[in-house]
Structure 1
């Protein structure tokens, strides 16, 4: 006969197996919901591109091929979908911007590449940028300011990058922070003007901004007796890490581097 100890062991083993199976099911369900939510965000992006920043949940549901109740199983409300769209927009921007900012290029080509990354994204998705800039979804205001958050992340990273270069050139790095915020603000304001007016090509606006930013850098460095070749890479390539995740503890760092 089976002893009590054996029965206890078998019972414990059965419960452990059931728990593992339950954990596996929950993990599969969680992954399914994450994937399904991502599909709906892409559908929302298509709907924004088609209908503009005044789109509603009906437009998103139609683009996704589902009903609104199905959408609301994956998003708490319109604000939740707005934030998911903002996160997707940030990912698209940073996918282009990070390699551009960290490119081992001469100063002017590096500036040009970073600007082109930004203007390419807003050119491809102007309605998404308009939606995020006005902080509302289907005429409903939201508490988050996605564009402002992205500006702060980029400006913080640019501050670290400029500060490293200024210290390398024996210059006062205290100017790095206002410089960074000034550059980011100028680029954003120009971008908002450009997607509405389109009085020039993307290449033209990128080139004008490139020359403006380089003229400021060249002027400041010359004041300190430093003459940089705009078409020659600097001796040390400083890089930054930009995270598209919006977290309070995310601080960009500069480093020396070469269900249905």
Structure 2
């Protein structure tokens, strides 16, 4: 090989790297890897654990997703979508209103129980106030829409609908954390207890 050809030859790329030299990975792949390792190892995994599970370096994880707070926020959004989908399956099924509500409560509990490590991970750290408000708004939206429509139909003010929605989400959040941590009763008992506690307020939504 001539001196000229040696000087213009391109260095070999490592496997899995595009011409620019960056690792072929995207945000969705990293979120999927983070979810998998949290489910497998529990809520105490670190960013180093997640990077290793995704077979990328920690700087690449931070560059693609952000810091742990950003990762937690992204996983929170995903979890809310799953929980909302589970609750929606049980709302408005045409049965007795209290039975529908109890089914929705159990659907919520079943969804977080199935993904308990992820639930504990996203609820285990401190969130910025603005982030907490956004996540609460998203979690409460189904209840808020339903309660607001009921009160509007009854010709009543809608302020109470917002209060009840946030109160229910707050109760679910705290009770769920304690239940997953202490496992102090079975899921059906917990669904019955929450329904008994909350139904009086829920049933009065149009009153």
Distance in 2 separating the partners of 1:207 and 1:96: 18
Deviation of 1:194 after TM superposition, in Å, equals 0.9
Find the counterpart in structure 1 of residue 11 from structure 2.
none
* 1:134 corresponds to 2:124: yes
Find the counterpart in structure 1 of residue 58 from structure 2.
68
| 2:40 alignment partner, one of 32, 50, 58 | 50
CA contact (8 A) 2:147 2:161 kept: yes
Distance in 1 separating the partners of 2:135 and 2:169: 10
Deviation of 1:127 after TM superposition, in Å, equals 2.6
* 1:154 corresponds to 2:144: no
Find the counterpart in structure 2 of residue 106 from structure 1.
96
Distance in 2 separating the partners of 1:132 and 1:145: 16
* 1:197–1:147 CA distance, 2 compared to 1 (3 A): farther
Find the counterpart in structure 2 of residue 183 from structure 1.
168
1:113-151: CA deviation from partner (whole Å, max 9, x where unpaired): 321232122212223222222335xxxxx5367555332
Q: State the SS of the aligned residue for 1:199.
A: coil
CA contact (8 A) 1:83 1:144 kept: no
Distance in 1 separating the partners of 2:129 and 2:32: 20
Distance in 1 separating the partners of 2:59 and 2:202: 54
* 1:87–1:182 CA distance, 2 compared to 1 (3 A): closer
Distance in 1 separating the partners of 2:172 and 2:152: 25
CA contact (8 A) 2:83 2:108 kept: yes
Greater relative contact order (Cα 8 A, min sep 6): structure 1 or 2? 1
Find the counterpart in structure 2 of residue 118 from structure 1.
108
Deviation of 1:165 after TM superposition, in Å, equals 1.5
User: Which has more radius of gyration?
Assistant: 1
| Aligned positions of 1:223-238 closer than 5 A | none
* 1:180–1:81 CA distance, 2 compared to 1 (3 A): closer
What is the aligned residue count?
A: 184
Find the counterpart in structure 1 of residue 70 from structure 2.
80
Deviation of 1:178 after TM superposition, in Å, equals 1.9
Aligned-residue CA RMSD (Å): 3.0
Deviation of 1:168 after TM superposition, in Å, equals 2.9
| 2:83 alignment partner, one of 93, 115, 121 | 93
| Aligned positions of 1:186-205 closer than 5 A | 186-205=171-190
Q: What are the ranges of 5 or more consecutive residues in structure 1 without an aligned counterpart?
A: 1-31, 137-141, 225-260
Distance in 2 separating the partners of 1:124 and 1:153: 21
